[in-house]
């Protein structure tokens, strides 16, 4: 059986954007992992995008509920392009993702952020079945809003992750469509932020979201594509770094 590390490495090398006129992204990420300290971490790695260079981002939700996004490229061509109006802050940093073995990796942001995060992934009968179904679906279904609503409603209970939204609007106003093709569970994770141990894995008391994008209540790692409405200054919040 091919290792998770090999699958992700292949995705990094061979990612292709889906057809379309939307703003499109292809890659993978950890949708969200909450800790007993009240912190929540998420990570995205898009090898290719239609709006700029490939990048990595780390999302941090503090116990107070405030959000920060650290990105490896400017905010206007990365996640804050869509989520910026809901953030307390965003900044550009070197973000290192390194694999320890076939199913474990680390995420590090040095300098003033001081994040060290270790993640273990696991395939289960549920994630294998979800991945097999998702990978076999035709492209036309992934573009169908009604199908995405049904898929999200089904995936949440099946993955025991709370609400999941595969279609909706992000805080900056753009519509989004998420197309997960491969899924794994997080079997273990530890993290420190500026020397503070974030604690053990523990769902948030109340599930959180950014716009219509719900953060799963259990650690889920996904590989696939995402699409967003093209930026419209008349309808969407100003892009980071541009005049309001």
Can you give the residue ranges of every domain in the chain? 4-228
Cα separation, 171 vs 125, in Å, equals 34
Residues in the chain: 244
3-class DSSP state for residue 197? strand
Q: Using CA atoms, how far apart are residues 203 and 215, in angstroms rounded to an integer?
A: 10
In our burial notation (b when 16+ CB lie closer than 10 A, e otherwise), range 50-80 reads bbeebbbbbbbbeeeeebbbbbbbbbbbbbb
Are 103 and 122 contacting, i.e. CB atoms less than 8 angstroms apart? yes
Give the separation between CA 163 and CA 215, rounded to whole angstroms: 8
Q: Which helix (H) or strand (E) holds 11?
A: helix 4-14
Q: Splitting the chain (244 residues) into consecutive groups of 10 residues, what average pLDDT does each group show?
A: 87 86 96 98 97 97 98 97 96 97 96 95 95 91 93 93 95 96 96 97 96 96 96 89 58
Whole-number pLDDT of residue 244: 47
Residues 6+ apart with CB under 8 A from 100: 106, 118
> How much of the chain is in helix, strand and coil states, percent to nearest 5?
20, 40, 40
The C-alpha atoms of residue 151 and residue 145 are separated, in whole angstroms, by 10
Does the pTM surpass 0.85? The reply is: yes
Q: Using CA atoms, how far apart are residues 142 and 144, in angstroms rounded to an integer?
A: 6
- For residues 188 and 205, what is the distance between their CA atoms, to the nearest angstrom? 20
**Three-state SS at 65:** coil
């Amino acid at each position: 059986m091919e290792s998770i590390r090999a699958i992700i490495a292949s995705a990094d090398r061979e990612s292709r954007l889906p057809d379309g006129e939307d703003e499109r992204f292809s890659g993978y990420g950890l949708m969200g992992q909450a800790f007993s300290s009240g912190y929540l971490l998420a990570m995205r790695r898009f090898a290719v995008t239609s709006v700029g260079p490939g990048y990595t981002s780390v999302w941090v939700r503090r116990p107070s509920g405030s959000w920060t996004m650290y990105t490896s490229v400017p905010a206007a061509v990365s996640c804050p392009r869509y989520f910026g109006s809901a953030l307390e802050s965003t900044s550009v940093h070197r973000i290192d993702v390194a694999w320890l073995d076939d199913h474990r990796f680390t995420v590090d942001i040095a300098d003033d952020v001081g994040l060290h995060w270790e993640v273990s992934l696991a395939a289960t009968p549920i994630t294998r079945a979800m991945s097999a179904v998702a990978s076999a679906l035709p492209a036309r279904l992934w573009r169908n809003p009604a199908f995405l609503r049904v898929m999200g409603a089904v995936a949440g209970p099946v993955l025991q992750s709370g609400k999941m939204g595969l279609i909706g609007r992000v805080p900056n106003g753009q519509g989004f469509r998420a197309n997960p093709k491969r899924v794994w569970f997080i079997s273990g994770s530890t993290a420190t932020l500026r020397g503070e141990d974030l604690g053990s894995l523990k769902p948030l008391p109340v599930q959180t979201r950014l716009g219509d994008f719900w953060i799963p209540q259990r650690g889920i790692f996904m590989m696939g594509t995402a699409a967003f409405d093209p930026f419209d200054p008349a309808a969407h919040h100003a892009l980071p770094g541009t005049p309001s």
